[in-house]
Amino acid sequence: MKIPEDLCFNTDHGPKCFKDYKGKWLLLFSHPADFTPVCTTEFVAFSRKYEEFKKRGVELLGLSVDTNYSHIEWKRQIEQAFGVKVPFPIIADVDMKVASIFNAVPPGQNLTVRTVALIDPDLKLAWFAAYPYTNGRNIDEILRVIDAIQFSYKYGYATPADWKPGDPVIVPPPPTTEGAA
């Protein structure tokens, strides 16, 4: 899926468009609502691992249907309660325009589910996962998946289950019989 690069949105860091992320890796992740316990633990975890994402050249971008005022106050309270600054922007998707592209709003609902969308430098969806409202994401697993996808993107090899950098990889079969010769 190609991400519409001209789609623009408001964040607590000001207006942005997907074209601002062209040439970069982007991890877009939605959460049901600011100030909720599970979402708060996730934002603390994403913030604590922020430098790990930066090392991989991955920009973080949160998303919910809450307003920028809500995002700003929630971030302030997270910093006050946990001593962790949330350094990445959060989309204020009150009209659910961005969330609908990623199927992050279930039919008949007005809250986003927990989704993770890894967007490659060509603005193509490289990976998508959804989590239930009741369960938080595993940030280390997200980083592991990013490592595997970036490796495959760069070298064209496949990675087996539980792959980590330095582990053996899989050479994919040729797409044609002629390529096998």
Q: From CA 166, how far away is CA 147, in angstroms rounded?
A: 11
17 is catalytic: no
Which of the residues 3, 26, 38, 39 is marked catalytic? 39
CB 128 within 8 A of CB 102: yes
Task: Return all residues near 161 (Cβ < 8 A) that are at least 6 apart.
Answer: none
CA distances from 93 to 31, 160, 162 (A): 11, 36, 34
Tell me the residue length of the chain.
Answer: 181
Catalytic residues: 39
